[in-house]
Amino acid sequence: MASPLISATELADLIRDGGAPRLLDVRWRLDQPEGRPAYLDGHLPGAVYVDLDNELARRGDPRQGRHPLPAREQLQEAARRWGIHAGDTVVAYDDVHSVAAARAWWVLTRSGLPDVRVLDGGLRGWLAERLPLETGDVLAPRGDVVLSDITEGVAAIDDVEEWPDHGLLLDVRAPERYRGDAEPLDPVAGHIPGAVNLPTTVHLTAGKFRSPDEIRASFAAAGVADGIAVAAYCGSGIAATHTALAGVLAGIEVVVYPGSWSQWSRTRGRLAAVGPAPSLDVIPL
């Protein structure tokens, strides 16, 4: 299977040789969710801007979490706006650790697009190679891609409650959020009982993904072994897709819980664990 990553130099060669893929600029982060101003100031040539909050997620009941998965029709309409046709190669990038780009990779791959990649190193990696940017907006000719519903590789809230009984549940947020020391976004601090902390940033070095062997070692240190079913969650289902991408690089299947802590912490009757494993206090929500 082809790698889901592409380097800046590989992408530049592809563009120069006339095989330009559809480029998606998915700049988004928690403290600056609107990435369009930065996109207009400079982006990869031909890249269209992707609005993560409104195109890679849907607005709905807060009890579904902060970034529920988009409906098929919503995502398909967005993908056509981006200019995607059946058979296109798609490359997504952002400017912070490829976390938002991984969300685009995951939802599009799970929706049936066969060739979606993430620019390893993102915008910063592109600039490090002294490759060009362009300014302004790009309005791509409308595409006609047909997407499918996302049904595989997804865990629901009841699934993850039982997951530690038969598999490994990874909380991929920062350690302080896992422990419950701080929670800047959701109503309750802590983590799902039985979850193990493996911050998704450990899979990177200097903004790029580590080697498959290094990623496998990180997963193994968290308890991943042959035959163990692995699921991941984060704050709202964005960073968990980054861990799923790391899993593909390492040959490990990682199921994503899209609702993540933002759904769990808003659902009555669930429990929240606080403190470092294995000595944990559990409180009802």
Number of Cβ within a 10 Å radius of residue 205: 11
| Beta-strand pair 22-25/90-93 | parallel
Q: Estimate to the nearest angstrom the gap between the alpha carbon of 185 and the chain centroid.
A: 18
Tokens at residue 36, please? Answer: 């369009």
Is residue 273 within 8 A of residue 193, CB to CB? The reply is yes
- Given the residues 108, 172, 234, 255, the one annotated as active site: 234
Show Cβ contacts of residue 198 under 8 Å, excluding neighbours closer than 6 positions.
Answer: 170, 171, 172, 218, 219, 222, 243
Query: Which candidate, 187, 152, 154, places its Cα nearest to that of 264?
Result: 187
Active-site residue 234, yes or no?
Answer: yes
Q: Residues 143, 84: contact at Cβ < 8 Å?
A: yes
Mention every residue, 6+ apart, whose C-beta is less than 8 A from residue 208.
Answer: 120, 121, 125
Strands 229-233 and 254-256: parallel
Q: CB-based contacts of 115: which residues, under 8 Å, 6+ apart? A: 2, 88, 89, 90
Report the catalytic residues.
234
